[in-house]
Structure 1
Amino acid sequence: MLADYHMHTSFSDDSTYPMEDEIKKAISLGIDEICFTEHVDYGVKVDINCNYIAYINEFNRCREKYIDKITMKLGIEFGMQEHTIHEFQKDFNEYDFDFVILSCHQVDNKAFWTQDFQTGKTQKEYNEKYYEEILKVIKKYNDYSVLGHLDMINRYDKMGKYPFEKVRDIVKEILVHVISHGKGIEINTSCFRYGLDDLTPSREILKLYRELGGTIITIGSDSHKEDDVGCKISYVKNELKELGYKEFCTYKKMEPIFHWL
């Protein structure tokens, strides 16, 4: 089974890809199931967050049209900070999602991709603060499915990859909390587009997650355009096998469904 569980369309501010075109592309690639996960990032993108009503209406229209060709799930990507939790909680309570990716795209309303967050900090400071923010959030918020691209700070680290051993303890604390609360993590295949020399999250994190008893894992392309759809998903499934995993997950109504790799 092939499933792409991290997909963006024109309902996300950083994509112009029409939802229906993305569905057609997924079908052409033989993908069995997809989950749309449009961006919401309170605190940074105040006026350009996902239009929920338009998004859900288009999703329902497309799902009905392509119901015999592909399984579609309604998801969302919450780019959460500790001080924006209450806004996301309202959204979750209002809409009926199958799947929620909890991501950290910014801290103190300063985004990583612009280097605003990293500026004026040492590599140690911004790496540690990134993981500290994730830990603070998950200790207060529980309505999510998986943590998205857990070490994504690596994408935007101009100093090079920060040694995992220096953040291992806090990553372990994050993973223990995730596992104990029945949540999971995702493998985000955008690592190949960003030219990283490891998976996202890293193989070290994936090994640690499995050693700690983690079993819930999804795979997503983080697609924003046609060439991204389904990127390296089959390859990543084989990587998971090499790391000792036996299953991956899809979701329905916030409940994980396990599939053999």
Structure 2
Amino acid sequence: MLADYHIHCKYSDDSEEKPEKIIKIAIDKSINEICFTDHVDYGIKLDKEVFEKMSENEKRSWKEKTGRIDLNVDYSNYFEEIQELKKEYRDKITIKQGLEFGMQTHTVEDFQKLFDSYKSKLDFIILSCHQIEDKEFWTKEFQKGKMPDEYNTEYYEEIYKVVSQYSNYSILGHLDHIQRYNEMIHPFEKSREIITKILKKVIEDNKGIEVNTSSFRYGLKDLTPERNILKLYHELGGKIITIGSDAHKAEDVGTYIPYIQEELKKIGFNYICTFEKMEPVFHKL
């Protein structure tokens, strides 16, 4: 079973790829199932409907605050297009509908409203942390003026606070995402305690984690999340796990998935998961 459960297309602000091109390449690569998971990041991005109702002064103020104006998924067109493609390609590949929630503690309520509005259409939700206090990791704004121990701890604490407040998700995306932006790999042992708390909460709530193969594109020294985290999750009894390329270009869909399946077997996992209407489906490795 080859399934890619982390894919972005033109409905994410950081991709221009057409969904149909992604589907065709996935079929060419003999992938059995894919799930589109385009970005929603409240706090730094706006819903289309909100943006269209803003005055010019409000738009200027928003741009001064964030440095740019980026929009979240155009939900109605997103779900409509995926639904049409599901029908067109139903005999060649299974296509699921998802979203990636880039959550922060102060945006939990916004995401709950969003989920309530579209839950009938959703198969899968990735819960990720891309910024804290609306400060981005990739620009180093969040890390500015802090020592690595401080900002790495704050990152995991934010995730723990979010999963303690919110449970309408499927898996945690790229759990050690902050490692991508560290100057040097931050030692696992320094974060073991808070990561353990996160994973115990995830397991308690019958949620899961993913292995994100973008680690290869970014030239990281370990998997995402790193093998220590995967081993800890397994030792704690975690069973729900997905694999996703985090592709923003069609050519990256499905990359390294067979390799990751073998690595998961080495750790002791017996299954990978896909999702149907927010419920995990287990497939033997």
- After TM superposition, the score normalised by the length of structure 2 is 0.90
Paired letter, 1:49: N
Aligned residue in 1 for 2:27: 27
* Alpha carbons 2:148, 2:186 under 8 Å: kept: yes
Residue 45 of structure 2: SS of its match in structure 1? coil
Structure 2 unaligned blocks of 5 or more: 47-69
Superposed, 1:11-160 pairs within 5 Å as 11-46=11-46, 47-95=70-118, 96-158=121-183, 160=184
1:193, CA displacement in angstroms?
A: 0.4
The amino acid that maps onto 1:21 is: K
* Counterpart-to-counterpart distance in 2, 1:9 and 1:227: 12
Percent pairwise identity? 58
Render the CA deviation track for 1:161-206: whole Å, top value 9, x for unaligned. Answer: 1110000000000000000110000000000001001000010000
- 1:76 Cα shift? 0.4
Quick one: distance in 2 between partners of 1:204 and 1:227?
29
1:190 to 214, 222, 226: 214
Whose helix proportion is higher, 1 or 2?
A: 2
RMSD between superposed Cα atoms in Å: 0.6
Residue of structure 1 aligned with 2:230, choices 203, 206, 210: 206
Distance 1:11 1:165 in 2: 38
Large movers: runs of 4+ above 4 Å: none
Q: Which structure has the bigger radius of gyration?
A: 2
- Bigger mean CA deviation after superposition, 209-218 or 47-56: 47-56
Q: Cα distance, 1:226 vs. partner?
A: 2.2
Residue in 1 aligned with 2:52?
Answer: none
Distance 2:219 2:79 in 1: 33
What secondary structure is seen at the aligned counterpart in 2 of 1:88? helix
CA deviation vs aligned residue, 1:61-81 (integer Å, no higher than 9, x gap): 111110111001100000000
The amino acid across from 2:86 in the alignment is R
- Counterparts of 1:43 and 1:131 in 2: how far apart (Å)? 19
Distance 1:128 1:228 in 2: 31
* Offset from partner CA, 1:109-137 (integer Å, 9 cap, x none): 00111111111111011100000000000
5+ long unaligned stretches in structure 1: none
SS of residue matched to 2:5: strand
- What is the CA–CA distance in structure 2 between the aligned matches of 1:234 and 1:162, rounded to whole Å? 27
Count residues with an aligned counterpart.
260
